[in-house]
Structure 1
Amino acid sequence: MIDLTRSPLAGQLDAETYVLGAFNPALTRLPNGNLLMMVRIAEALREPIFGGKVHAIRLGDCEAGGNADRQYVLDGWPIELADTADPRTFKLHGGGWRIMALTSLSWLLPVVISPDGLEIVTIHYERAIAPAGSWQCYGVEDPRISKVGDDYWMTTCSISPERQSTTLYHSTNALDWTFDGVVLDHQNKDMLIFEGLIGDKYWAQTRPLGDLYFAYPPGSEWRAGPSINLASSPDCRHWRPYLKPGIRPHAATVATARMGGGAPPILTEIAGRRGWLSLWHGVEPREVVGIYRTYWSLLDPEDPSIVLATSDTPLLEANPELTGPLEELMYMHGVVFTTGIVEADDHFIVASGEADLACRITHVPKSAFASM
């Protein structure tokens, strides 16, 4: 459904591109009642390997601190140096640590949908958010939108050789966005701003990554690895990590061996208890990518490090029937990655990426939480 003749990359590369995926959409409600999905468009080279090299798309000048000129170029590495087992990336050998490049460059497309989330109203190519500087010269990915008071805040993951950082955008109408800078300078894929203040502060879930994690004591209920942490801010721009841990993977199951934030937490009532509803993803290791499922936790309204309720039964799993008509485009299976939620009368409207390929809208009845 994506028209690449209206892409920010259109006409700039001497190579054919295609949509690898239109997925992982942020979700929010507009002032007029419609919903907005901010969709990640992964635009990839149709033939990335030619001339004995594997190629990636990059924006402008990638020198540290340089301002990109919004011209896109191709970089090529000798094919014998690359591991292309993961369809989303290729690893480069020869360094003392992990180095990778992407098979696509991502930009963000605002899509207005009906109040129930089931019909497309308008696709705003003219308001697309594309890489704007060296800090995101390999793409801007996986947006999450939170409405706090009259302001909309959007976190994104910006990719570059300089860093893999969290960047912030601000809007008063959710359609016209202003870049507000880098807010987390370390590798962090899932920063989600709570949809409301706690006391007089903004709060967020974060998920710092690394190649080293220290072991919990033998017999601990927790598994060492990526977990969901917390941070607070006086202005939504300067963040301080919270001392207490957030949501951690349990040692009793491998289904959530790796975890991270999904939808921005919203303040609501679940089975008679009020708290922050947090939808997050758990990853079961399998093959290259793993199996992604969506789980939920209800967090204390005053101290979100306290988990009031949770479930080890998945709320959402990948649904092959949804992607059946797109089977010839599939390059992975078993992945649902939830990225947005809004509350309706007796249900929640949940936005997810399905198989890193398409956007999925799910109506989840509020009664479903009471039975878990």
Structure 2
Amino acid sequence: MKVYRYEENPLITPADVVPHHEQFEVIGAFNAGIAVYGDEIIMLLRVAERPISPDPEKVLAPVFNTDTQELDLIELRLDDERYDFSDPRVIRNKSQSATFEYLTSLSYLRIARSKDGHHFTVDEKPFLYPSQKLETFGIEDPRITQIGDIYYIYFSAVSPVGVGESMVSTTDFEKVKHHGMIFGPDNKDVLIFPEKVNGKYYALHRPTTKSTGNPEMWIAESDNLLYWGNHKHLIGLRSGMWDGGRMGGGCVPIKTERGWLELYHGATAEHRYCMGAVLLDLNDPSKVLARSNKPILEPEAEYEKNGFFGDVVFACGAIVDGDIVKMYYGVADTSMAGCELSLQAILDSLEPLE
């Protein structure tokens, strides 16, 4: 697959974002939702900030307190044998190794704006900040679907009771209306289609179970964008392939003459994240027509291979201009990058399902 990576990549790095909190450092500005608003391209960044501990023997875990509307910093000693600090992203209680007890950073959403799609300016203040009980560990990985004049923004809401998908809406990227959690824990990678199909709204989602099943892609339908049902399993993991470890939706589905094109991420068991595509029927998106056997984008550039969590390309938004797909994607769980691909080439690369 021929890919044109922007010369300006990475487009936004943590160094481009001033911390919102004193005595914090920005460790990630990535996995942004993408929208066109007026004459601007909006990049709604996930900004991850980590408290700087004054004591090298201790780590601070940020937790939003809904009673005080302030951040609490939980102080833990690195030699505390009850906890596992080996993963820089999370702090695990060794007695509950399958889950984490705290995150080492707090994520919120911040707008970056561009006229040309290559050079972005980051707003001074957060656009969305944790405010609800289901967001006390932060809000992450937004996607944006425009339907009419309304932009629906949905994101992972993280708290001690799990990770679910919450939604707000806006018409001006200033005022927002909160709609609550639309997919309960544990669920991520929700993508709402940009128009109704046969009178129904459709959404992709990625539930994760602790009993049986794998982190795979599902589809659901709704009459009102708030209550989702008729859930169906859409595509699964493929052992030994680029999407054999986990997968999830990437960009809002793109309507083409051949069907709904979904650009999704897949990872190997070794956590190497690539981008591929799946084609869904125009009139019945629960029907899979074709799928990528090989990735359309792999972590090859230095900024994709090295970072907070390396070997990751993770697209969250695309703008289609004729045959050009302008895809914006997170790199190495650290920064944002952009690239262009041919829509026709992506469609032609897909292997039809028998």
What TM bracket, shorter-length normalisation? 0.7 to 0.9
Find the aligned partners of 1:241 and 1:44 in 2 and give their Cα distance. 40
Change in CA separation of 1:174 and 1:368 when aligned onto 2, cut-off 3 Å: farther
User: Does residue 1:157 correspond to 2:156, yes or no?
Assistant: yes
Kindly provide the amino acid, as one letter, of the partner of residue 283 in structure 1: A
Aligned length: 333
Aligned to 1:217: none
- Are the aligned partners of 2:304 and 2:311 in contact in 1 as well (CA < 8 Å)? no
Find the aligned partners of 2:327 and 2:85 in 1 and give their Cα distance. 33
Change in CA separation of 1:212 and 1:48 when aligned onto 2, cut-off 3 Å: farther
Aligned to 1:218: none
- Are the aligned partners of 2:260 and 2:281 in contact in 1 as well (CA < 8 Å)? yes
Q: What pairs with 1:48-87 in structure 2 (closer than 5 Å)?
A: 50=56, 53-60=58-65, 67-78=66-77, 79-87=80-88
Q: What pairs with 1:140-219 in structure 2 (closer than 5 Å)?
A: 140-214=139-213
User: Does residue 1:300 correspond to 2:284, yes or no?
Assistant: no
Change in CA separation of 1:114 and 1:318 when aligned onto 2, cut-off 3 Å: farther
Aligned to 2:18: 4
Aligned to 1:125: 124
Find the aligned partners of 2:211 and 2:320 in 1 and give their Cα distance. 38
Find the aligned partners of 1:92 and 1:80 in 2 and give their Cα distance. 9
Find the aligned partners of 1:277 and 1:190 in 2 and give their Cα distance. 16
Deviations 1:243-269 (A, max 9, x none): x42122224636432111111212124
Q: Name stretches of at least 5 consecutive residues in structure 1 with no aligned partner.
A: 61-66, 215-224
Find the aligned partners of 1:49 and 1:253 in 2 and give their Cα distance. 44
Aligned to 2:241: 253
Structure 1 vs Structure 2 CA RMSD: 2.2
Find the aligned partners of 1:370 and 1:98 in 2 and give their Cα distance. 39
- Are the aligned partners of 2:27 and 2:50 in contact in 1 as well (CA < 8 Å)? yes
Aligned to 1:335: 312
Q: What pairs with 1:274-285 in structure 2 (closer than 5 Å)?
A: 275-285=259-269
Deviation at 1:301, TM superposition (A): 1.0
- Are the aligned partners of 2:237 and 2:243 in contact in 1 as well (CA < 8 Å)? no
User: Does residue 1:234 correspond to 2:223, yes or no?
Assistant: yes
Q: What pairs with 1:85-100 in structure 2 (closer than 5 Å)?
A: 85-95=86-96, 98-100=99-101
Find the aligned partners of 1:366 and 1:352 in 2 and give their Cα distance. 17
User: Does residue 1:102 correspond to 2:103, yes or no?
Assistant: yes
SS in 2 for 1:369: helix
- Are the aligned partners of 2:156 and 2:164 in contact in 1 as well (CA < 8 Å)? yes
Find the aligned partners of 1:2 and 1:262 in 2 and give their Cα distance. 24
Deviation at 1:182, TM superposition (A): 1.2
- Are the aligned partners of 2:18 and 2:124 in contact in 1 as well (CA < 8 Å)? no
- Are the aligned partners of 1:147 and 1:195 in contact in 2 as well (CA < 8 Å)? yes
Identify, as 1 or 2, the structure richer in strand: 2
Deviations 1:194-250 (A, max 9, x none): 111112221100111122325xxxxxxxxxx211001111111111142x4212222
Match of 2:296 among 295, 315, 318: 315
Kindly provide the amino acid, as one letter, of the partner of residue 334 in structure 1: D
**With CA pairs under 8 Å and 6+ residues apart, which has the higher RCO, 1 or 2?**
2
Kindly provide the amino acid, as one letter, of the partner of residue 338 in structure 1: A
Q: Which structure 1 residue ranges, 4+ long, deviate > 4 Å from structure 2?
A: none
